[in-house]
């Protein structure tokens, strides 16, 4: 059984990975309302602070129930939440978790997501004792594909995913990183 209480705060040179809080609504809304954040996923932009608050509460419920863990990515210098990163779809029998992540487009291309991802990989392997981490990304999401490659993930499969909010078919590449410890 996994227990995310107390919540594990992770720190890197430029980032603090911490639990999302009500005070983060404005920053998270800014990110989630940006259409660029939804280009490669079947998610809909938030339009109101209330929608974002519901999202934060849903993410925190998953943590409280030890089903998943999601961190707000806080930029140390600005004190602004610039993204989120999670381990979810956790299968303890197989020792596998799935990564999810997103970063405000204004902060993309600066290495922040790689910094956060490496810290979360370390947590998944060393604190959660996972044997592997998977990541699904749309084949046309070149930045995400490049990021996973730079973190030594390898492609293990390709799947087509029917959109829930649209009729779009998403061509997903499945990546895996194995724990070699």
Query: For 10-178, CATH number?
Result: 3.40.630.30
Tokens for 155?
């492609």
pLDDT at 40: 82
Tokens for 96?
């596998």
Dist. CA 89–CA 6, nearest whole Å:
20
Going from the C-alpha of 168 to that of each of 2, 59, 171, the distances in angstroms are 35, 25, 10
Residue count of the chain: 181
Residues 6 or more apart whose CB falls under 8 angstroms from that of 23 comprise: none
Report residue 38 CA to chain centroid gap.
14
55-84 confidence digits (pLDDT tens): 999 999 999 999 999 999 999 999 999 999
Confidence grade of residue 33 (pLDDT, cut at 50, 70, 90)? very high
Report residue 155 CA to chain centroid gap.
18
For 42, other C-beta atoms within 10 Å of its C-beta total 14
123-137 confidence digits (pLDDT tens): 999 999 999 999 999
pLDDT at 42 over 80: no
Q: What is the mean pLDDT of residues 17-23?
A: 97
Ranges of each domain in the chain: 10-178
Burial of residue 94, with CB atoms counted within 10 A of its CB: 0-12 exposed, 13-18 middle, 19 or more buried: exposed
């Amino acid at each position: 059984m996994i227990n995310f209480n107390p919540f594990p705060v992770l720190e890197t040179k430029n980032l603090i990975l911490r639990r999302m809080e009500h005070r983060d609504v404005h920053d998270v809304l800014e990110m989630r309302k940006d259409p660029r954040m939804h280009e490669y996923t079947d998610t809909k932009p938030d339009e109101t602070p209330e929608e974002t608050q519901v999202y934060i509460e849903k993410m925190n419920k998953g943590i409280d129930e030890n089903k998943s863990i999601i961190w707000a990515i806080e930029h140390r210098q600005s004190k602004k939440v610039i993204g989120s990163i999670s381990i979810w779809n956790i299968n303890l029998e197989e020792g596998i978790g799935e990564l999810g992540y997103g970063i405000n487009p204004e902060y993309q291309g600066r290495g922040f997501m790689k910094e956060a991802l490496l810290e979360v990989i370390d947590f998944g392997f060393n604190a959660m004792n996972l044997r592997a981490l998977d990541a699904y990304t749309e084949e046309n999401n070149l930045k995400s594909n490049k990021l996973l490659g730079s973190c030594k993930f390898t492609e293990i499969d390709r799947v087509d995913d029917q959109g829930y909010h649209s009729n779009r078919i998403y061509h997903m590449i499945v990546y895996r990183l194995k724990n070699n410890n």
